[in-house]
């Protein structure tokens, strides 16, 4: 078992480059299934979730070649339409295979992901949309099976603006007959990146980034060449790393227009931000000011940054409230932050954080990706040594986080746990 060990207290300085966005790369890789031929996706981060998609595409019969951060996916020989439980349970986003497989092959069999650490996370809205487009849906042995001669465009209102649900339905609609209208669609920047790729493939997608997306399906789609957008959550995490250590960090590739809510809250916390042509520079405050947040779908404050921002607020000069409105159970980092001396109380979906003057290093572990990132951030600012275990969660979403932070002057290393 590996751990990340951090000796806190160093102010971070220098530049760090943002990798490609995991949450954009995953749907983009599944979109290759919509066409027959070789697609090329650049700027794919080297992460465990991308390895999982590679395995899944291989199981379907695609040939995947990787070189550095480029994926070449040849889908000419795709013959299987089944995504097995063993892989789906390690990555919920495997459900993104449903839309493209159903649209291109008229059939898909994808294991239901089951529960996960941050809540029930159903996929009912994905299924409701596919059904509206003419798919017949059955459940067999824990697998969702879809069947459709050819999907037909439909008008679909999403009760919640689900991100992967919107992506699944956009991909399905790209090969459906006629027009699909997605209402109350998710507006995340990753949706816009997917729309660009679908348009390159020959679909006509309009309105991505707004809550109404109109898609004209095509009879056939062509393979694409595309580069994955920069990871706004990784960028936000490095901005907090600069802020929490009172350092000065240039986050190259950070896009201000993707991070507005985050940047507003960082400013409220006393950080000084410079928006440059190729990134954002943060100057951390000596001690952060309290800033309350409420998570909500984009363009609101991202739930994927809630845990990291909470780490910063643990050291604020005053108290604030952090309200989680997207997922029902996303406070698992709280107990671990408390072990480092944080003063946090939870009532329902809201955590009240009373800032303390200092955190103290401790052995901690996390049960999800962003929670793990918050513990690393807390460790950077804490006195003494913090050892974060179960870092396979971190490796699902951050490319070489310890190397990037070490490059900024953090005392951090990956070590093999004893015993």
Question: Which residues participate in catalysis according to the annotation?
Answer: 116
Window of 97-105, 158-166, 214-222, 245-253 that interacts with ligand UD1 by CB under 6 A: 158-166
* Structure-block tokens of residue 83: 């995504």
Q: In terms of CB distance, is 51 or 411 closer to ligand UD1?
A: 51
Binding status of residue 390 toward ligand UD1 by CB under 6 A:
no
Binding status of residue 304 toward ligand UD1 by CB under 6 A:
yes
Binding status of residue 139 toward ligand UD1 by CB under 6 A:
no
Q: In terms of CB distance, is 10 or 303 closer to ligand UD1?
A: 303
Do residues 184 and 159 make contact, with C-beta atoms less than 8 angstroms apart? yes
Picking from 84, 152, 140, the residue whose alpha carbon sits closest to that of residue 113 is 84
Do residues 169 and 130 make contact, with C-beta atoms less than 8 angstroms apart? yes
Q: Which of residues 311-340 bind ligand UD1 (CB under 6 A)?
A: 326-327
Name the minimum Å distance from CB 160 to ligand UD1.
4
Q: Which of 126, 214, 393, 404 binds ligand UD1 (CB under 6 A)?
A: 126
* Structure-block tokens of residue 128: 């409701």
Would you say how long the chain is, in residues?
Answer: 419
Binding status of residue 146 toward ligand UD1 by CB under 6 A:
no
Q: Which residues contact 140 (CB under 8 A, 6 or more apart)?
A: 109
Angle at 142 between CA 139 and CA 147, to 5 degrees: 35
Q: Which of 89, 121, 267, 360 binds ligand UD1 (CB under 6 A)?
A: 121
Binding status of residue 26 toward ligand UD1 by CB under 6 A:
yes
Binding status of residue 374 toward ligand UD1 by CB under 6 A:
no
Longest dimension (CA), the chain: 63
Binding status of residue 193 toward ligand UD1 by CB under 6 A:
no
Q: Which residues contact 155 (CB under 8 A, 6 or more apart)?
A: 132, 180, 181, 183
Q: Which of residues 82-101 bind ligand UD1 (CB under 6 A)?
A: 92-93
Question: How many residues line the site for ligand UD1 (CB under 6 A)?
Answer: 21
Measured from the Cβ of residue 107, the count of other Cβ atoms closer than 10 Å reads 14
CA distance 209 to 193: 9
Name the minimum Å distance from CB 330 to ligand UD1.
8
Window of 80-88, 160-168, 250-258, 316-324 that interacts with ligand UD1 by CB under 6 A: 160-168
Spell out, one character per residue from 251 to 290, where the chain touches ligand UD1: x when CB under 6 A holds, - when not.
Answer: ----------------------------------------
Binding status of residue 191 toward ligand UD1 by CB under 6 A:
no
Name the minimum Å distance from CB 130 to ligand UD1.
11
Name the minimum Å distance from CB 300 to ligand UD1.
10
Q: In terms of CB distance, is 228 or 303 closer to ligand UD1?
A: 303
CA distance 360 to 207: 48
Window of 115-123, 207-215, 260-268, 359-367 that interacts with ligand UD1 by CB under 6 A: 115-123
Binding status of residue 301 toward ligand UD1 by CB under 6 A:
no
Binding status of residue 237 toward ligand UD1 by CB under 6 A:
no
Window of 124-132, 201-209, 235-243, 265-273 that interacts with ligand UD1 by CB under 6 A: 124-132
Binding status of residue 232 toward ligand UD1 by CB under 6 A:
no
Q: For 392, left (φ over 0), alpha (ψ -120 to 50), or beta? A: alpha
CA distance 300 to 309: 14
Strand bridging mode 411-416 / 13-17 = unpaired
| 300 half-sphere exposure, CB direction, 13 A CA radius | 14
Picking from 143, 153, 148, the residue whose alpha carbon sits closest to that of residue 175 is 153
Binding status of residue 20 toward ligand UD1 by CB under 6 A:
no
Cis peptide before 299 (omega within 30 of 0): yes
CA distance 228 to 64: 17
Q: Which of 41, 125, 156, 376 binds ligand UD1 (CB under 6 A)?
A: 125
| 170 half-sphere exposure, CB direction, 13 A CA radius | 37
Residues that bind ligand UD1 (CB under 6 A): 23, 26, 92-93, 119, 121-126, 160, 162-165, 186, 303-304, 326-327
């Amino acid at each position: 078992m590996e751990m990340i060990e951090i000796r806190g207290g160093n102010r971070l300085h220098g530049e760090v480059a943002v990798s490609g966005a995991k949450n954009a790369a995953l749907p983009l890789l599944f979109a290759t299934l919509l066409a027959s031929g070789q697609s090329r996706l650049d700027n794919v981060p080297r992460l465990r979730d991308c390895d999982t998609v590679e395995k899944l595409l291989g199981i379907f019969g695609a040939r995947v070649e990787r070189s550095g951060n480029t994926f070449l996916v040849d889908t000419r020989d795709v013959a299987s339409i089944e995504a097995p439980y063993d892989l789906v349970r390690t990555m919920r986003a495997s459900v993104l295979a449903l839309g493209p497989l159903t649209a291109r092959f008229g059939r898909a069999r994808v294991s239901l992901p089951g529960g996960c650490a941050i809540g029930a996370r159903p996929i009912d809205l994905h299924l409701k949309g596919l059904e509206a487009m003419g798919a017949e849906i059955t459940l067999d042995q824990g697998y969702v099976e879809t069947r459709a001669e050819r999907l037909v465009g439909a008008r679909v209102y999403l009760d919640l603006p689900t991100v992967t649900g919107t992506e699944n339905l956009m991909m399905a609609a790209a090969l459906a007959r006629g027009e699909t209208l997605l209402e109350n669609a998710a507006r995340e920047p990753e949706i816009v990146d997917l729309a660009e790729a679908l348009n390159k493939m020959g679909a006509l997608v309009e309105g991505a980034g707004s809550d109404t997306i109109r898609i004209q399906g095509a009879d056939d789609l062509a393979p694409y060449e595309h580069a994955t957008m920069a990871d706004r959550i990784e960028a936000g995490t490095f901005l907090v790393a600069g802020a929490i250590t009172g350092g000065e960090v240039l986050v190259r590739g950070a896009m201000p227009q993707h991070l507005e809510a985050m940047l507003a809250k960082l400013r409220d916390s006393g950080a000084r931000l410079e928006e440059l042509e190729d990134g954002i520079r943060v100057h951390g405050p000596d001690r952060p000011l309290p800033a309350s947040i409420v998570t909500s779908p984009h363009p609101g404050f991202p739930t994927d940054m809630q845990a990291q921002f909470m780490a910063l607020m643990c050291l604020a000069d005053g108290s604030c409230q952090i309200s989680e409105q997207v997922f029902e159970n996303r406070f698992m980092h709280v107990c671990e932050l408390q072990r480092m001396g944080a003063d946090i109380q939870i009532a329902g979906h809201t955590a009240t954080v009373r800032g303390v003057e200092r955190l103290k290093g401790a052995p901690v572990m996390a049960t999800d990706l962003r929670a793990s990132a918050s513990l690393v951030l807390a460790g950077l600012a804490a006195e003494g040594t913090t050892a974060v275990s179960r870092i396979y969660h971190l490796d699902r979403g951050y490319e070489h986080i310890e190397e990037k932070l070490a490059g900024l002057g953090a005392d951090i290393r990956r070590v093999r746990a004893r015993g």
